[in-house]
A and B are shown apart, each in its own frame.
Chain A
Amino acid sequence: MPVKSIKNAVGRLIPETINGKPVIPFQGVGKYKPTGRKFAPKIVTCADYPLDGNKLVPNLKEALIKAGIKDGMTISTHHHFRNGDLIAVEIFKIAQQLGIKDLVWYPSASFPCQEPIIEQLENGTIHHIEGSMNGALGRFTSQGKMKGVGVLRSHGGRYQAVQDGDVVIDIAVIAAPTADPFGNANGVEGPSACGLLGFALADSQYADKVIVVTDNLVDFPCIPWQIHGNYVDYVVQMGQIGIPEKIVSGTTQITKSPDRLLIAEMTAQFCDEAGLIKDGFSFQAGAGGTALSIGVFFGEIMRRKGIKARFARGGSNKYLVDILEEGLVEYILDGQTFDLDGVRSMRDNPRHVNTSPFTSYNYHGKGNFAGIVDIVILGATEVDVNFNANVVTHSDGYLLHGIGGWQNCLFGKNVILPIPLFRDRIPVIREEVTTICGPGELIDIIVTERGIAINPLRKDLIDKMKDSKLPIKTIHELKEEAERICGKPKAAEFEEKIIAAIKWVDGTVIDVVKQVKK
C-alpha cells in the first residue's frame, strides 16, 4: 500500500507514518509547539523494593527476566563507553537466547564495536534501531536489510522524545563504571571510568525498569551519585563492562594534516577578526582533529590578548583540560569525556562540570544552554548552497553517522562549519544536500581551505569582515570551485523504500533516508 507523503518546511517528502506511528513533518525552526503534559512513569512504592537497599541480582540475564523482557519492548543503552562498550551486544545475545522478538534498540549512539548486533537484526530479535546507525550498522540499514525504519535523533531530541512520551523505554540498561547495591552510580571512578553518565539520565528518570550494570561495586553511598539509585530497579555486578582503552578512543588527537591545520587557523583568525573572541566569551569545539586544533588556536589568541573564556562546552580532552588548568577558561560544561585527562579533571576539578542532554540540549524545556554559547564549531559531510547541512549520510547515499549533539548546537550564536572543500574528489559543498539534518538559517559560516562563506542572513558578520584579508567568498563560488577541481558529481540513486527518518530537535521529521540503489 503506498504511503501518503507530505512536503515539510524544507521541501522534503515525509510519509504520514513511520513504523506504524504517525509522524509530524518539520514545520520550521521554533514553529511546532506541542501542548499537553509530559510522559509520566508509573508510580512505584518502596514496599516493593528491599528495605536494606540491596538490589543486587546475580547476572544480566536474570535482571532482564525480572524486568519482564518480552516481544516488542524498547531497550535503551548509553554510549559513554564509545567503542569500548561490551553491554549492548550482551543484552541482545541474551534476548536472542530467550527467544524474544521485535525489540527496539534505543541507544544514545552506536559504535563499530556493536556490529555483532547485525545478527539479532537479521534474525528478528531486533525490529529496528532508534538512535544512530554508524559504520557497519549504517551500511546494513542503507541496504534495506533492517526490518523496521531506523529513527535518528540528536542527543537533545532523544531526551525530548523520552520526556514527551514519543518513545517509551521499557527497560534501560545503564553501564556504570562505579555503583553501589542501591543503584547510585557514577562514571568518574573504576577501571571503566568514562567521566559522566549524562546520556543515561532520561533513561533512569523515565524508563519502566532500570538496570545498573557495573564492574566496580562499592558500598553505599556511591559518591558522586550521577545516577540516583532511587530510579533503579536492579543492580548487576559483572567482570568487565567496557574496554578502557577503547572508551577513551585515542582518535581525539590534534590533526597533523597541514590542510586541516590551515582550516583551523583560518577559523580561529575569522573568529578573532569578527570580534567573537573577547573576554568572557564561550565556545564549543568538538572532538575531531580540526576542532581540537581550533581550540588550541583559541588558547593562543586568549593568551596573546590576555583574556579568558567564561566557559567551554565539552566533549573534553587533554587540550581543553590544559586551558582550564591554565586559567584560560573558567568552566568546562561537559557532555562527554574523550580521554583520561578529561575523566581525571571531571573527578577532581569542581569547575569541570558534568551536564546532561536535559541541561544542555532539550528543546522542550524552559531553555537550554546551547543557545548561550558564542562560538560553536561543528562538522558536516555535505553543505548546500542554502547552507543546509548533512551529517548522517555520505554523498553516495549511505547512512554512516549519527546526529549526536550537532542539531542542538546549531542554536549557538555563531555556528561555524570548518570543512574541506572536497574529500577524495567528492565536493562537500553541493547544490542540494543528500539528507537535510539542519536548516541553513541556523548555520552561519563555512570555512574551507579555499575560502570562507558567510550566510547572507548574517549581515553583521559580512559587514565586520569586509576588509579582512581572509578569502571571503560566496557559497556559490565555493561550490563552483569544488566542481572545477573535482568535476561535477552525479547524484546518488535510491530505491523507493525509506530506511531511516531524521528527527528535528522538536520531534518533527526533517528528512528521510532511502535505501541505496542495488
Chain B
Amino acid sequence: MSNKAVAGNRGDDIRSDCYVELELTKNKGIQIDLQSKVKTLFGDSIIELCKKELKFFGLKNCIIKIEDTGALDYVLAARIEAAIKQLIDTDKEYLLDLLPQNKYKTKKDRYRRSRLYLPGNTPKLALNAGIHKPDGVILDLEDSVAPAKKFEAAILVRNALRSVDFYGTERMVRINQIPKGLDDLKYIVPHNVNLILVPKCESAEQIKLVNEKIDKILNKHNLSYNIFLMPIIESALGVIKAYEIATVAENVVALAIGLEDYTADLGTQRTKEGKETFLARCQIVNAAKAAGIQAIDSVFSDVSDMEALKQNVLESKSLGFDGMGCIHPRQIKVIHEFFAPNEKEIDKAKKIVNAFHIATEKGLGVVSLGSKMIDPPVVKRAQRTIEQAIDAGKLKKNWRNNYAG
C-alpha cells in the first residue's frame, strides 16, 4: 500500500466540501494543517473532529492537510475516513449519530411524483435538497459519480443518510449497476435508507440478488425494516422483462424508466416528440399497473424550459405515469402542479367523495351517484385525487363545508 492518499474536492466552484491529503509517517506524531474559510469560527472543532477520527482508526503518526470550504462535520468525517481507508485495511466505520428526525419510514403507495437526483459526491447540493419538498431525494452513486470517486462517494452518502435532514422526503439511493451495485449496499442498508434504485435492471434475478444482500446486511446489524426497491428499466431487454421484474418481490414499489440509456440501446436518438420511446413507456406503465405498483417516468433535462417540462409532465400523466425524476429543484413545483389533477378531474372526484361521505353518514353500504353505483376502487381513486388536489393547493382542505354538490 502507498503511504499517501487524497479524498474530497477542491477548486473554485467547490463549497461545503473539503479536500484531504493524508500521509502516513513513521514517528512524528499527528500533524494537522487546516486551511478553512470558516477557521475563526469552526477551526477548533474541525481539528478536534480530525483528532478523534484519527484516534478511532488507530493512526498515531501522520500528516493530514485539510482544505475546507465550509464542510459540515459529516462531510469532513467522510473525507477523512475515505483517505484513511485507502492507506489502512479496516472494517471499522466512523459513524456520527443518526439524526432522530431521520428515523422515519415511508409507505409503499406514498406519492412519488418527483424525485430529485443529487450527485452523491457533491455535498453542497444535498444540504438544502429537502427544503424544496420533492417527494423523494436520490443520493446517486451511479452515473453522476466519476469512477475514481465511487469509494469516497459511498462513504459520503452513508454519512448523509445519517446526518442530513431531508425534512420528511423519501430518502433514496441509486446504487451502481448489478453486480457492482451489490457492494454499495453495505454503506446504505444499515442507515435507514427508505428506497433503493436499481439501475439498468434487466432481470428478476438481479432484484433477488439485491434483496438477498439486503437481508444479509440487516441480519448482521440486527435490524429489521422494509427497504423499498425501484428498478430502473433502461434497455430493450429490460422493457421485455418489466412485468417479471415488477412482480418478483413485495418490496418493489415502482418501475422507473431511463430513456437516455434505452435510446442508446435501441441505437437511436432521443427526440422531443419521443416516438422512439413510446412503446417502452407504455410497456413500463402497463407492467407496473399490472403488478399494482407505480410507474415513474424519466427525467426532463432542459432545466431552463419550464413550459416544455409542463408539456412533458402532462404527457407522462396522460400515459399513466405517477411521477418523474428531476435534476433541478425548480422542476419540482411544475411536476407537482401538473401531475396534480385538473379542474375536471377534481370536480368528478368531489362528486364521488361527497356521495361516499353521505352514504357513510347515512349508514348505507352502497355509494351511489344519481342512478349509478360507485365501486370501492373508484371511491379510493377519487379520494386520492382529492388528496392530491389539496396537496397541490388546488382545493381547500375543508372543501365540503361549502360544497353544494
Please indicate whether A and B come from the same complex rather than being unrelated chains: yes
Interface residues of A (CB under 8 A from B): 258-259, 261-262, 395-397, 423-426, 449-450, 485-487, 489-490, 492-493
Instruction: Quote the shortest CB–CB distance from A466 to chain B (angstroms).
Output: 16
Instruction: Quote the shortest CB–CB distance from A243 to chain B (angstroms).
Output: 24
Instruction: Quote the shortest CB–CB distance from B369 to chain A (angstroms).
Output: 32
Q: A425-B72, A489-B38, A493-B40 are in contact. List 13 more A-B contacts (CB 8 A).
A: A258-B132, A259-B329, A395-B40, A396-B40, A396-B41, A423-B70, A424-B16, A424-B38, A425-B70, A426-B70, A449-B131, A487-B73, A490-B41
Q: Does any Cβ of A come within 8 Å of B150's Cβ?
A: no
- Contacts A424-B37, A425-B16, A490-B44 given; does A258 touch B71 at CB 8 Å: no
Contact indicator B329/A425 (Cβ below 8 Å) = no
- Would you give the 0/1 interface string for B9-44, flagging 1 where the beta carbon is closer than 8 Å to chain A? 000000110000000000000000000011111111
Contact indicator B71/A259 (Cβ below 8 Å) = no
Which residue of chain B has its CB nearest to the CB of A266? B131
- In the complex, which of the residues B15, B16, B42 contacts A490, with contact meaning CB atoms closer than 8 Å? B42
Contact indicator A450/B38 (Cβ below 8 Å) = no
Bound-state Cα–Cα, A262 to B128, Å: 11
Q: Identify which of B16, B69, B131 gathers the most chain A CB atoms within 10 Å of its CB.
A: B131
Contact indicator B41/A262 (Cβ below 8 Å) = no
Bound-state Cα–Cα, A186 to B38, Å: 44
Q: Could you show 25 A-B contacts with beta carbons less than 8 Å apart? A: A258-B132, A258-B330, A259-B329, A261-B330, A262-B131, A262-B132, A396-B38, A396-B39, A396-B41, A423-B70, A425-B42, A425-B70, A425-B72, A426-B38, A426-B70, A449-B128, A485-B127, A486-B42, A487-B42, A487-B45, A487-B72, A489-B38, A490-B40, A490-B41, A490-B44
Contact indicator B41/A485 (Cβ below 8 Å) = no
Which residue of chain B has its CB nearest to the CB of A517? B40
Contact indicator A426/B41 (Cβ below 8 Å) = yes
Q: Does any Cβ of A come within 8 Å of B165's Cβ?
A: yes
Bound-state Cα–Cα, A318 to B16, Å: 33
Contact indicator A262/B329 (Cβ below 8 Å) = yes
Bound-state Cα–Cα, A396 to B40, Å: 6
Bound-state Cα–Cα, A488 to B66, Å: 20
Q: Does any Cβ of A come within 8 Å of B158's Cβ?
A: no
What residues of A have a CB within 8 angstroms of the CB of B328 in the complex? 258
Total contacts A to B, CB within 8 angstroms? 60
Bound-state Cα–Cα, A426 to B68, Å: 13
Instruction: Quote the shortest CB–CB distance from A254 to chain B (angstroms).
Output: 12
Which residue of chain B has its CB nearest to the CB of A493? B40
Contact indicator A486/B72 (Cβ below 8 Å) = yes
What residues of A have a CB within 8 angstroms of the CB of B72 in the complex? 425, 485-487
Chain A binding surface, main DSSP class: loop
What residues of B have a CB within 8 angstroms of the CB of A425 in the complex? 16, 38, 41-42, 70-72
Interface residues of B (CB under 8 A from A): 15-16, 37-45, 69-73, 127-128, 131-132, 165, 328-330
5 pairs of A and B residues whose beta carbons are closest in the complex: A424-B70, A489-B41, A258-B329, A396-B40, A425-B70
Which residue of chain A has its CB nearest to the CB of B133? A262
What residues of A have a CB within 8 angstroms of the CB of B330 in the complex? 258, 261
- Contacts A258-B132, A261-B330, A262-B132 given; does A424 touch B69 at CB 8 Å: yes
What residues of B have a CB within 8 angstroms of the CB of A258 in the complex? 128, 132, 328-330
Instruction: Quote the shortest CB–CB distance from A389 to chain B (angstroms).
Output: 18
What residues of B have a CB within 8 angstroms of the CB of A486 in the complex? 42, 72
Bound-state Cα–Cα, A65 to B69, Å: 50
What residues of B have a CB within 8 angstroms of the CB of A426 in the complex? 38, 41, 70
Bound-state Cα–Cα, A267 to B158, Å: 34
What residues of B have a CB within 8 angstroms of the CB of A450 in the complex? 131
Instruction: Quote the shortest CB–CB distance from B198 to chain A (angstroms).
Output: 28
Instruction: Quote the shortest CB–CB distance from B346 to chain A (angstroms).
Output: 19
Which residue of chain A has its CB nearest to the CB of B304? A256
Bound-state Cα–Cα, A262 to B72, Å: 22
Bound-state Cα–Cα, A449 to B132, Å: 9
Bound-state Cα–Cα, A423 to B328, Å: 20
Instruction: Quote the shortest CB–CB distance from A500 to chain B (angstroms).
Output: 18
Bound-state Cα–Cα, A261 to B330, Å: 9
Contact indicator B41/A492 (Cβ below 8 Å) = yes
Which residue of chain A has its CB nearest to the CB of B39? A396
Instruction: Quote the shortest CB–CB distance from A381 to chain B (angstroms).
Output: 13
What residues of A have a CB within 8 angstroms of the CB of B69 in the complex? 424
Contact indicator A492/B45 (Cβ below 8 Å) = no
What residues of B have a CB within 8 angstroms of the CB of A396 in the complex? 38-41
What residues of A have a CB within 8 angstroms of the CB of B45 in the complex? 487, 490
Contact indicator A259/B38 (Cβ below 8 Å) = no
Instruction: Quote the shortest CB–CB distance from A517 to chain B (angstroms).
Output: 9
- In the complex, which of the residues B15, B43, B73, B131 contacts A424, with contact meaning CB atoms closer than 8 Å? B15
Instruction: Quote the shortest CB–CB distance from A485 to chain B (angstroms).
Output: 7
Bound-state Cα–Cα, A449 to B42, Å: 23
Instruction: Quote the shortest CB–CB distance from B286 to chain A (angstroms).
Output: 35
Which residue of chain A has its CB nearest to the CB of B131? A449
Instruction: Quote the shortest CB–CB distance from A263 to chain B (angstroms).
Output: 10
What residues of B have a CB within 8 angstroms of the CB of A423 in the complex? 70
Contact indicator A492/B40 (Cβ below 8 Å) = yes
What residues of A have a CB within 8 angstroms of the CB of B131 in the complex? 259, 262, 449-450
What residues of B have a CB within 8 angstroms of the CB of A397 in the complex? 40
What residues of A have a CB within 8 angstroms of the CB of B44 in the complex? 490
What residues of A have a CB within 8 angstroms of the CB of B329 in the complex? 258-259, 262
Instruction: Quote the shortest CB–CB distance from B340 to chain A (angstroms).
Output: 16
Instruction: Quote the shortest CB–CB distance from B169 to chain A (angstroms).
Output: 14
Bound-state Cα–Cα, A492 to B42, Å: 10
What residues of B have a CB within 8 angstroms of the CB of A259 in the complex? 128, 131, 329
Bound-state Cα–Cα, A450 to B127, Å: 12
Instruction: Quote the shortest CB–CB distance from B402 to chain A (angstroms).
Output: 17
Q: Identify which of A424, A449, A486, A492 gathers the most chain B CB atoms within 10 Å of its CB.
A: A424
Instruction: Quote the shortest CB–CB distance from A470 to chain B (angstroms).
Output: 12
Which residue of chain A has its CB nearest to the CB of B43? A490
Instruction: Quote the shortest CB–CB distance from A184 to chain B (angstroms).
Output: 46
